[in-house]
Amino acid sequence: MRLDRLVANLPGYNRQQARRALAMGEVEVDGCVVQEPAWDIRPFATVSVRGQVVQHGYPARYLMLHKPEGCVSATSDPEHRTVLDLLPEAERADLHLAGRLDYNSTGLLLLTNDGHWSRRLTQPGSKLPKLYYVETEQPIEAHYVSVFEAGLYFAYEGLTTLPAHLILLGSHSAHLSLVEGRYHQVKRMFGHFQNKVTRLHRVAVGPLTLDPALAPGAYRALTEGELASLQVPLEG
């Protein structure tokens, strides 16, 4: 909500009075004077007018979770265990996923109660690379590299994938970095060569790498430094 609208909705204020209060420096957000009427007020912000708190913010939460196999990336599911089921019930409230992993894929998954933040990370324009460790049934041949870099045509969507960077690690393993997250994208890319993916593990999202100390199913809060590293612009 815009800051001027929040103030104008208070008892004893209208739009003109709200703008006057802002202009006179009588409005604070998280302890700092804000005079911009269009300032976006999120649920986590504490807002005061003339020293009186009019909105008590609640804590924003940002978690990294080591997703194990055999659970769905969803907040609820009638048939399967979800990633939220890995957390104590008292800690699940208002959390949602910033990105997804397939049922049997593993690795870094981000959870938050901050919709603005998750939108920044997942919007197509963010171009935030995701790094995966991949194992396959058949050998990964050297020419995969140039094909992935050029992009693959997905007939179902009628589009060509953006360039993806493949680094061979062994005869049947590789690192793959891509900036999209289309349905079963990694499996479909290797499927172009009739090569089945047998293991898919997300190692990193942008500069954020999965904490090696987190066992499958474990989670922890992101540090301030990790949060700062993930800042990307919000479109629209």
How many residues in total does the chain contain? 236
pTM above 0.85, yes or no: no
Burial of residue 140 (CB within 10 Å: 0-12, 13-18, 19+) is buried
Residue range 206-224, pLDDT digits in tens: 999 999 999 999 999 999 9
Burial of residue 68 (CB within 10 Å: 0-12, 13-18, 19+) is middle
Q: Which residues of the chain have pLDDT under 50?
A: 235-236
The secondary structure element, H or E, covering residue 65 is: strand 62-67
Residues forming a β-bridge with 224: none
Residue range 151-171, pLDDT digits in tens: 999 988 888 999 999 999 999
Q: What is the predicted pLDDT for the residue at 232?
A: 64
Q: What is the predicted pLDDT for the residue at 236?
A: 41
How far from the centroid of its chain's Cα atoms is residue 70's Cα? 21
30, 21, 87, 24: which is closest to 53 by C-alpha? 30
The catalytic residues are 102
35, 10, 40: which is closest to 23 by C-alpha? 35
Q: What is the predicted pLDDT for the residue at 108?
A: 98
Distances 154 to 15, 198, 200 between C-alpha atoms, Å: 51, 21, 20
Q: What is the predicted pLDDT for the residue at 44?
A: 84
Q: What is the predicted pLDDT for the residue at 47?
A: 94
